[in-house]
Amino acid sequence: MDNLWLNALPAADRKRIEPHLNERPFAQGQMLYDAGEALGEVWFPMTGVVSLMTVLADDHMVETAAIGREGLVGVTCGPLNARASSRAIAQIEGTAACCPADVFSDALRSSEAMRDALSRFTESLFAQVQQTAACNAQHRLDERMARWLLTLHDRSDGDRIKLTQSDIAGMLGVRRATVSEIGSEIEGQKLIRRGRGWVEVLDRPGLEAAACGCYRMISSVMKDLGVPRPNTAN
């Protein structure tokens, strides 16, 4: 199993849910669930990235968190089986192990270690949501874009990330023309390279220096809570 949250559980706890897991691919742009829906499944990404989107009254969206193989999707919006408060969309295609929500709920009730692991992950996710909201309101777009690219790079299998200008604009809540302009500035610093439908990270340390402090703060919270870094290869 390539999901780090599952791998970190004691063997006895993994055995509670592994027989019920169903491996399922998800495509870029696929909606796993929408705001207001009952959550019937828990998704454990093994590859790819899922974005949690805050939906505004005019149906515009802004990303508030990204989840990869370090965590789980579907029990992060409140008590299990509650209705989702955000929309979950696959930002980068991948594969997840899916578990029925009632099975996961029973396993949680039976295991203090699982409850502790879930609490630590959801606390780190809440910190990411809060920090991202503040970042979106206060920081320059070039800093925000660098922070967001680092977040995806952490959860990707390599340096080249499948992204379009529309994808980036949608996640950051800005116009495509603005993304093109800021992307050109970052590319001009030789931090990234862009092509049709992809962005490649060329200088990871340089991109970290260009990002606002929010990236480091979120990473620090994850470390303090014992949540594994999504991709230690990057």
- Say how many residues make up the chain: 234
- Contact, 77 vs 36, CB < 8 A? no
pLDDT along the chain (234 residues), means of 10: 90 94 95 88 94 81 90 69 82 95 91 94 91 88 92 92 87 84 93 94 96 91 84 50
Start-end of H helices in the chain? 4-7, 11-17, 101-110, 112-138, 141-154, 165-172, 176-188, 204-210, 214-225
Domains of the chain: 4-114+125-134 (2.60.120.10), 139-225 (1.10.10.10)
Which residue is it, tokens 């899916």?
Answer: 98
- Contact, 144 vs 186, CB < 8 A? no
Distances (CA, A) of 190 to 183, 193, 203, 205: 11, 7, 7, 12
Give the per-residue pLDDT at 230.
76
Give the per-residue pLDDT at 77.
45
pTM: 0.89
